[in-house]
Amino acid sequence: MPKRPAVLKTSLAASLLLLAGMALAQAPSAQAPLQALPYTPSLDPAAMDKQAEPCEDFYQYACGGWMLNNPIPADQSRWSVYAKMADDNQRYLWGILDKLAQPGGEPRSANQGKLGDYFAACMDEAAVNRLGLQPLQPQLARIQALQSKQELPALLAALHLGNNNPRFFFNLGAGQDFADSSQVIAFAFAGGISLPDRDYYTKQDAKSQRLRQQFLAHVATMFEHLGETPAAARAAARSVLATETALARATLSRVDKRDPYKSFHKMDGRALQSLTPGFDWAAYQQALGLGQGFAVYNVTEPRFFKALDARLKAMSLAELKTYLSWALLSSQAPHLSSELVQQNFEFFGHTLTGAPQLKPRWKRCVELVDAQLGEALGQEFVAHNFSPELKEKTQEMTREIELAMAQSIQGLAWMSEATKTRALAKLHAIVNKVGYPERWRDYSALAVTRGDFLGNVQQGNAFEARRQLAKIGKPLDRGEWGMTPSTVNAYYDAQMNDINFPAAVLQPPLFDPKLDDAPNYGNTGGTIGHELTHGFDDEGRQFDAQGNLKDWWTLKDGKAFEQRAACIVKQYGGYTIVDDIKINSRLTLGEDIADLGGLILAMSAWKAHMASAGKSLEARIDGLTPEQRFFIGYAQWACSNDRPEALRVKAVTDPHSPGRYRVNGLVVNMPEFEKAFACKPGQKMVKPEAQRCKIW
């Protein structure tokens, strides 16, 4: 399972880990487009370290060979089974886009034309370098022309549309009403910071202070690119940091953001306006083309918007122009000249995450096309790589795992019958989306010009911003996806109450039709179980069968759940990520619950599947029993290598535990593992029965 970043829509969509990746050799330094996806088995004996003792360190046993043979490529901050798979996938998409970009080739559909022209414009680095900052000048000039703060709402509306980036103080978007998931309402989201998390501005340890100094130096250098003197650039950087720090201090922590009640503050336009008396919301929304605004809003962080109002009042007009210029330049730097791209990478890529080299241009262009024309690109991917048979097999596995969860719920000694009835109702209401959307997105309103790279980026930003805003007040589209079909990941959405498996995540080495069922149920089955369990983790359990934020638990059952979750918090809170930094186990709790519950469900479903098919659990393959292959198949999705800088960022921002603990942290709680590998009491992968954690 790659698994699971928390994906968006709101923070309530929980996805697979961040990208991982599996290959036996170092990624080649000189890459070329792929015409077909490469094959790697989902259980690879060469990826193992058979000298390691599985009962002492199962992760090393399952992944030691992979880690040895897969050093981190120079353009990556981490490398993993998922990352390698995503990299291969990008090379395949590169081949598709390169062909579509060739002039005078085969006839192209409208979408294919947009894909090819967008990619061609992105890849024309010489043209981008010739233009330098010229494409950004109209927006920079508009910022400098600001005459009063009363003009700010209209200016922000234009900047939000063209850049679709929360660095411009805040974001206005669409989301399902937490209290009535059938309704789409306006959401006002906090923004305004450039560093990965509020903690980067507030912590006073030596590393944090040094990083802020490095950030100041980076911002100053960027202002020098705008023509400022070194002294003026340093002053501008200090002004930017002061504003971002003030906003960061008023922002919810990542742990608090996992509590949906702390992000649910429904109010009308008058109440929203009262939070920021100095900012005219009606003028802002009119400039967005929304008339006078909407009847109702969810203001995710009212304290932030009060702090924003105070900061706007305190800022001079010159400081405001400085901040907006930084927000514009930093958000668009990846799409400008090579010099600015490199400067942006030096801080946000190298300093923050430790990656030695910038990703090659083709890779950045593929990522951008996938971000802005993802369903059009996904159609091309699906046409060649996703069969009806694969979809049916995934759906069959999902049905089996849902049955295993129903049986698990019915057998829970700690849950009352009343809560069990509601839990089963929610389980049976979950919608399973596999492969790709039933209705493809319409890109006819998105204009793409072959010779205008930054223009295409900003047109794409505006297209998506308007698409989101147009949802407000309209019937909910429950068929919409939050990931593109060519994404190597998966997710659960608590408000939609659906699980989503893009076509790209259902390929080897994750789902491997050439192998026996054991590793497939361990890997893909564990992923399905993981996403299913998200509906019942510490966050997902707060939403009912229709996706409404509603407490459907008895008080006694809710406390019993929290007691069991506390076991997981305690266990994972003892693991070290890097240096002396421990896992923030309240941040990772949802993913840790889903990992454990998902693998338990996958094992139950696998055994039931084998029994119903009359298949033996005795036959060995490569000297491994079926149970051993199940666990190794699970573990090998998590094989990874990480740079220490990336691990430090992960410790603050990532709701997933490191791969080692997503493997070892599970098996110590499963007596089936102890039996499969004949582990003995006292070995590290063995916990006394009374200390094992289990919820579902």
Cis peptide before 41 (omega within 30 of 0): no
E strand segments, 177-323? 184-190, 266-267, 297-299
Q: Is the pLDDT of residue 348 over 60?
A: yes
pLDDT digits (tens, 9 = 90+) for 236-267: 999 999 999 999 999 999 999 999 999 999 99
H-helix or E-strand containing 589?
A: helix 589-612
Please say whether the beta carbons of 662 and 611 come within 8 A: no
3-state secondary structure of 480: coil
The answer to whether residues 424 and 544 touch, using CB atoms and an 8 Å cutoff, is: no
Q: Across residues 204-212, what is the average pLDDT?
A: 97
Q: Which pLDDT score is estimated for 21?
A: 33
Distance CA 265, CA 259 (A): 12
- Please state the rounded mean pLDDT for residues 585-590: 98
Tokens 């414009």 belong to 121
- Provide the pLDDT confidence category of residue 30 given band limits of 50, 70 and 90: low
Structure confidence at residue 8 (pLDDT): 35
Which pLDDT score is estimated for 25? 32
Residue-wise pLDDT for 312-330, tens only, equals 999 999 999 999 999 999 9
Domain 3-8+48-81+387-438+479-691 in CATH 1.10.3720.10:
no
pLDDT band at 29 (very low <50, low <70, confident <90, very high): very low
pLDDT score of 27: 39
Give the pLDDT score at 164: 87
- Domain boundaries defined on the chain: 3-8+48-81+387-438+479-691, 149-335
Give the mean pLDDT of the chain: 94
Which tokens go with 330?
Answer: 């930093």
Q: How much is the pLDDT for 279?
A: 98
Q: Which residues contact 267 (CB under 8 A, 6 or more apart)?
A: 296, 297, 299
**Of 103-107, 144-148, 265-269, 678-682, which gets the smallest average pLDDT?**
103-107
Nearest to 513 by CA among 378, 388, 389: 389
pLDDT (tens digit, 9 = 90+) per residue, 474-510? Answer: 999 999 999 999 999 999 999 999 999 999 999 999 9
Are 207 and 268 in contact by the 8 Å Cβ rule? The answer is no
Q: What percent of the chain is helix, strand and coil (3-state, nearest 5)?
A: 55, 10, 35
**Average pLDDT of span 393-398:** 96
> What is the per-residue pLDDT for 3?
42
175 - beta bridge partners? 185
| pLDDT value, residue 351 | 97
pLDDT tens digits, residue range 403-414? 999 999 999 999
- Does 20 score more than 50 pLDDT? no
**CA 331 to CA 349: how far, in whole Å?**
14
CATH (residue range 149-335): 1.10.1380.10
- Give the model confidence (pLDDT) of 133-152 as tens digits: 999 999 999 999 999 999 99
pLDDT value of position 18: 36
pLDDT at 615: 85
5 band by pLDDT with thresholds 50, 70 and 90: very low
Percent of the chain exceeding pLDDT 90 equals 93
Instruction: Tell me the two tokens of residue 305.
Output: 């918007």
| Whether the predicted pLDDT of 11 surpasses 60 | no
